[in-house]
Amino acid sequence: MSRTHASARAAGTRHETAIATYLATVLEDDRIERRARSGAKDRGDIAGIRARGRRIVIEAKNTTRTELARWIREAHLEAGNDDAAIGVVVAKRHGVADPARQWVHMTLADLAWLLGGDAPTYDD
């Protein structure tokens, strides 16, 4: 059975909800939640994530095709829309339901910021 637009949206919603629920639980922060779509100025899929006193945008992906460059550009654009320090991607591992075992993708500059370096600038 092939994926329809409706089934793809439902799978994406389940993935986003699982990520938000997992992070809210392990970080003990009830402000973390799945964010409603906001149109042309999208600000990411998960709200309430913070590190070093700044917002972090999480772009969630549940697709069959991996498009890291496009996803990272999208996360960075949405980080700018949200005045966030960085944008990262959480991609669904097919066949793996546990949200703790999903893939997290980011640039090295984003990782350096998480580890205490200067905030990255996005010009891609």
Residue type, 17: T
Q: Which two tokens stand for residue 37?
A: 């779509």
Percent residues over pLDDT 70 in the chain = 97
Check residue 122 and give its pLDDT: 76
Beta bridge partners of 60: 90
Instruction: Give the span between the Cα atoms of 8 and 14, in whole angstroms.
Output: 10
Q: Where does the chain show beta strands of DSSP type E?
A: 33-34, 46-47, 50-51, 54-61, 86-91, 103-105
Q: Are strands 86-91 and 103-105 parallel, antiparallel or unpaired?
A: antiparallel
Q: How confident is the model at residue 1 (pLDDT cuts 50, 70, 90)?
A: low
Rounded to an integer, the average pLDDT of 22-32 is: 97
- For residue 80, is pLDDT > 90? yes
Task: Record the pTM.
Answer: 0.91
Check residue 40 and give its pLDDT: 75
Q: What are the pLDDT digits (tens) for 42-71?
A: 899 999 999 999 999 999 999 989 999 999
From the candidate CATH numbers 3.30.450, 1.20.950, 3.40.190, 3.40.1350, the one assigned to the domain spanning 5-114:
3.40.1350
